Amino acid sequence: MPHPFLPPFKLVEHGESYEVQDAAERHLAYFYFEDEETRRSIMNRMTKDEAKAAAGIFMRGLIREAGRRPVGKIGEGGEATFPDPK
């Protein structure tokens, strides 16, 4: 059965969140952050670094589910690289 989400996956940074999209630019998940400690505590959000790490873990799970393995790291622009399917 084909995977419902299309690789490659992309990490997009917004003002207070990271968004994970698939190749069709479908919105798969949002990871919200707040770097001001008092607001973060009240809003129960992650730091920016924690949100980026959580989004990366989510993307790696999608990659495994799609039956592909990432090559290297997720790039600075949020692009994940994949080997050619054979």
Question: CB under 8 Å to 83, separation ≥6 — which residues?
Answer: 68, 69, 71
Which is more confident, 72 or 28?
A: 28
Under DSSP, is residue 20 helix (H, G, I), strand (E, B) or coil?
strand
How many Å apart are CA 22 and CA 41, to the nearest integer? 31
Residue 11 DSSP label: E
Task: Map out the domains of the chain as residue ranges.
Answer: 10-65
Threshold 0.85, pTM exceeds:
no
pLDDT of residue 73: 53
Q: Which residues contact 8 (CB under 8 A, 6 or more apart)?
A: 23, 79, 80, 81, 82
Q: How large a percentage of the chain has pLDDT more than 70?
A: 74
